[in-house]
Structure 1
Amino acid sequence: MERLYTPAILDIEASGFGKGSYPIEIGVAAETGEVYSWLVLPEQDWTHWREEAASLHLISREQLQSEGVRPNFIADELNALFEGQTLYSDGWGFDSGWLSLLFYVARKSMLFRLETLPKILSDDQLAHWDKAKADLRQKNAWVHHRAGIDAHLLQLTYKKTAIDEQLRKG
């Protein structure tokens, strides 16, 4: 069996969807399997808040104020850890905008790329993705909608579907 590529996966939880929403938690599962996660201290003008989103991620505004770190710190950490790499997201349409906003307010340039996860999935992986992900979530009893856990789950789902595909091919 050939050596398995393990992509770095980024996931973002946000204050809601649409205009005015902003990142509240950034999670990354690195190629090494290490998981990083930061709660984001909101900027003064980041006031958009949707209770529907909060009921999913279970992060309160108070928690962000007490435990969150400034966007410039997170941007520096991401650049230091992932410079020159490509990270993948299963929600690229939203995550790319929220990540850009984080780097914009931090006044930093992103030194890595963000791509859509389906770009590196085979048809076979896509066909088995949802079941593999649900099985892994249930097996590990992981909480849904926390950025670090979700990034790790996506990375493990990638690996499981890739291994299963190799086994099916013989």
Structure 2
Amino acid sequence: MLDIEASGFGRGSYPIEVGIARGDGSGCALLIQPRRDWTHWDPQAERLHGISRERLEREGHPVIQVARWLNDELGGLEKVYSDSWGFDNTWLSLLFHHAGMLPAFRLETLRLLLSEEQQALWYPTREALMAQHGIQRHRAGDDARLLQLTYAHTRALTAWR
């Protein structure tokens, strides 16, 4: 699973954090250092994810380093899944474009994996897991982990039916 946090939504927005959750349940996230020409900043988005532009400039990793890391981590997989494919795919494409690289994996929408029964259980299961594991929303690593946990739990619940 993959999740991306961004500077905002719409034209001019760019990725600021990318997180992954691996099949074994482990995960990782990296902050992304904004390029000089990435100037869009939405204060509402900052209130959601809690990451300041100053922190990104100080602690973020260069675009090319993040793209290489993603290819190293996910290159052996044919597909990687996101619950917000439209946004995440756009930001992922922007990241790789500015790194001068192509992704070694394909991002797909999570809905392709979910049965109707899983979709019906998704939101209540996600809310219960957030409370149980103390997961903070709108941080890429935690959101990717939450996707992974919710998928696994809804799959297990529907397997018994």
Normalised-by-shorter TM-score class: over 0.9
- Equivalent residue letter for 2:86: G
Given the alignment of the two structures, is residue 69 of structure 1 paired with residue 34 of structure 2, yes or no?
A: no
CA distance in 1, matches of 2:133, 2:73: 27
CA distance in 2, matches of 1:110, 1:143: 28
Where does residue 155 of structure 1 map in the other structure?
A: 148
Where does residue 22 of structure 1 map in the other structure?
A: 14
Q: Secondary structure at the match of 1:142?
A: coil
User: Once the 2 structures are TM-superposed, how far is the Cα of residue 31 of structure 1 from its aligned partner?
Assistant: 1.5
User: Once the 2 structures are TM-superposed, how far is the Cα of residue 32 of structure 1 from its aligned partner?
Assistant: 2.1
Worse-matched range after superposition: 16-25 or 27-36: 27-36
CA distance in 2, matches of 1:103, 1:57: 22
Where does residue 13 of structure 1 map in the other structure?
A: 5
Mapping 1:125-136, distance limit 5 Å: 125-136=118-129
User: Once the 2 structures are TM-superposed, how far is the Cα of residue 21 of structure 1 from its aligned partner?
Assistant: 0.1
Unaligned runs of 5+ in 2: none
Could you list the runs of 4 or more consecutive aligned residues of structure 1 that deviate by over 4 angstroms after TM superposition? none
Where does residue 40 of structure 1 map in the other structure?
A: 32
Number of residue pairs matched?
160
CA contact (8 A) 1:28 1:147 kept: yes
CA contact (8 A) 1:24 1:41 kept: yes
- Equivalent residue letter for 2:13: S
Q: Secondary structure at the match of 1:100?
A: helix
Per-residue CA deviations over 1:136-169 (Å, capped at 9, x if unaligned) read 00111211100000000010000000001012x1
CA contact (8 A) 1:75 1:103 kept: yes
CA distance in 1, matches of 2:135, 2:76: 31
Q: Secondary structure at the match of 1:33?
A: coil
Percent identity over the alignment is 49
